[in-house]
């Protein structure tokens, strides 16, 4: 069974969506460890409730960012973690962790990358006035939200959307596509070629959406 380690900074609703799929038996994986970079991250309460080991690793206690991520990699390796899932982890992952888990770290981002990377992807999209936004699950490299895309899902953006209303619409889809991407990984169906992710046994359809509807 796939062993997963999760890194989070806050609320942890994406962490919960992974827990729920695993507990329901739809995702054949065992979540072995939660690492947080903030002592009061609510994700810790979720870990406690589901008897998942959790660690607060304080970035302030390390002389450099590389040292911090070397420590996280060591804790994950010590527990034989195979896949690392970033779930609202608000730091750019550094080389020591990326190198320890090549194409074995995933992230969920609340925008259609490469649009609106970084913080507040939903606010960036609403402020820009795009008609369609969404979320992206991707493998993590050393850049900021730049790694190979695994799954994307789109939602319409309304002219009166605020950061909060758009975030809520996108979050519902995050909770669907993140466990789905992990399932594909667990089933051995993802292959990374350069920056293209090939998905075995997945037939894509030539459908499209237009917002606002036309015709």
Which amino acids are annotated catalytic?
109
Helix 163-186 and helix 13-23, axial crossing angle in degrees, nearest 10? 40
CA dist 56 and 134 (Å) reads 30
Is 10 one of the binding residues for ligand GAR (CB under 6 A)? yes
- Residue 88 or 147: the one with the smaller Cβ distance to ligand GAR is 88
Give the one residue of 5, 12, 96, 147 binding ligand GAR; rule: CB under 6 A. 12
Between 1 and 111, whose beta carbon lies closer to ligand GAR? 111
DSSP 153: E
Residue closer to ligand GAR by CB (options 50, 187) is: 50
Q: Which residue is nearest to ligand GAR (CB)?
A: 88
CA distance 6 to 77: 13
Instruction: Give the C-alpha distances (Å, rounded to integers) separating 197 from 68, 91, 190, 200.
Output: 29, 24, 6, 10
Q: Taking CB under 6 A as the rule, which mask of x and - marks residues 72-101 in contact with ligand GAR?
A: ---------------xx-------------
User: Of these, 14, 27, 96, 161, which contacts ligand GAR (CB under 6 A)?
Assistant: 14
| By CB under 6 A, residue 110 contacts ligand GAR | yes
> β-strands 132-139, 105-109: how paired?
antiparallel
């Amino acid at each position: 069974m796939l062993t997963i380690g999760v890194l989070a900074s806050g609320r942890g609703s994406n962490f919960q969506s992974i827990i729920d799929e695993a507990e329901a038996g739809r995702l054949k994986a065992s979540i072995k460890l939660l690492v947080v970079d903030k002592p009061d991250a609510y994700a810790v309460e979720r870990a406690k409730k589901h008897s998942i080991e959790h660690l607060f690793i304080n970035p302030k206690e390390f002389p450099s960012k590389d040292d911090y991520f070397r420590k996280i990699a060591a804790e994950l390796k010590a527990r034989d973690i195979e896949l690392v899932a970033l779930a609202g982890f608000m730091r750019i992952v550094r080389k020591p962790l990326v190198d320890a888990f090549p194409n074995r770290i995933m992230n969920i981002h609340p925008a259609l990358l490469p649009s609106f990377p970084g913080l507040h992807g939903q606010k960036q999209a609403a402020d820009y006035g795009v008609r369609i936004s969404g979320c992206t699950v991707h493998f993590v490299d050393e850049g900021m939200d730049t790694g190979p895309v695994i799954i994307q899902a789109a939602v319409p953006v309304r002219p009166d959307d605020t950061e909060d209303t758009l975030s809520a619409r996108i979050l519902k889809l995050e909770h669907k596509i993140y466990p789905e991407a992990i399932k594909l990984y667990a089933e051995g169906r993802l292959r990374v070629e350069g920056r293209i992710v090939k998905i075995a046994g997945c037939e894509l359809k030539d459908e499209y959406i237009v917002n606002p509807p036309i015709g």
